[in-house]
Amino acid sequence: MNTDEMYNGLRVLSSYHRKGGVGKTFLASTIAYLLATGGPDGNGIKRRVLVLDYDSQQDSSKAFLKMDAIPGDDEYAAPLHPELEEIDDPEWSGRNTSTDILFDSPVYEYPTAFENIKVLPSEGNVESCASSDTASGQTGFKNFDTYARLVFNSRIGRRLRHCYC
């Protein structure tokens, strides 16, 4: 785990490994929760955290959001954004995933049950999206400067780094 790396002025923590079952999701979700709630005793600094799920298993997404099951598939779709009516953006479909950043699409983070945690869920087909020739990531984190920390959960973390530096 790389801790507190600076990308465009943001603190980024990333939990990545190519192998499944090594604790990436547990680690990323727990760290996000502890940062947002002030640590184990709740007396520390409560930080605004954005969880970016780039794992095809989508477990961080499912931990924080009620994802929509896709009939006949083991992947899930991001739910309709709960603030859909308040967001006035004609280019936006009402759903977002973390891979939208790679394609410079409009991005609106999802609120969670935890006050200081927001999530951009995985779309499930992350590996092929991240390796796409059209993925530019030129926008990067420019809209996420209100967060104290960004927490990545990914099997492909090293490949994504170029999109945010």
Instruction: Output the tens digit of pLDDT for each of the chain's 165 residues.
Output: 444 444 445 577 777 777 778 888 898 899 999 999 999 999 999 999 999 888 888 999 999 999 999 999 888 999 999 998 898 888 888 999 988 887 778 889 999 999 999 999 998 776 655 555 544 444 444 556 667 666 767 665 544 444 443
Scanning the structure block, which residue is given the tokens 């530096």? 165
The CATH topology of domain 2-76+94-163 is: Rossmann fold (3.40.50)
State the amino acid at position 13 in one-letter form. L
How are beta strands 149-154 and 10-16 bridged, if at all?
Answer: parallel
Scanning the structure block, which residue is given the tokens 């945010």? 164
**Domain boundaries of the chain, sorted by first residue:** 2-76+94-163
